[in-house]
Amino acid sequence: MSRRRSAVPKPVIAGIRPILVTGGAGFIGCNLVDRLARDGHHVIVYDVLSRSGVEANLAWLKERHPAKITTMIADIRDRAALAEAASRAQAVFHYAAQVAVTTSMVDPIDDFDVNARGTLLLLDALRRRAEPPPLIFASTNKVYGGLDDIALDCVGDAYLPRDTRLRRHGVSEERPLDFHTPYGCSKGSADQYVLDWARSFGVPTVVLRMSCIYGPHQRGTADQGWVAHFVRQAIACRPLTIYGDGKQVRDILHVGDAVEAYLAAWRHSPKAHGRAFNLGGGAANAVSLLQIIREIEKRLRQKIKIAFEDWRPGDQRYFVADTRRAREELGLRAPLDWRNGLADLTDWLLQAEKPSPPSRQPASVELAS
- Of the candidates 93, 90, 84, the one whose C-alpha atom is nearest the C-alpha of residue 119 is 93
Total count of residues recorded for the chain? 369
- Of the candidates 145, 141, 211, 140, the one whose C-alpha atom is nearest the C-alpha of residue 178 is 145
Measured CA distances, 251 to 71, 279, 347 (Å): 33, 10, 21
DSSP for residue 50: -
* DSSP state letters, 68-96: TEEEEE--TT-HHHHHHHHSS-SEEEE--
Q: Is 183 a catalytic residue?
A: yes
Q: Could you write out the three-class secondary structure of 240-267? A: EEEECCCCCEEEEEEHHHHHHHHHHHHH
DSSP for residue 328: H
> Half-sphere exposure (CA, 13 Å, Cβ side) for 53?
16
**Helix (H) / strand (E) containing 124:** helix 118-127
Q: 3-state SS of the chain: helix, strand, coil percent to 5?
A: 40, 20, 40
Q: Pick the catalytic residue: 159, 183, 193, 318?
A: 183
Q: Which residues pair with 70 in a beta bridge?
A: 44
Known catalytic residues are 183
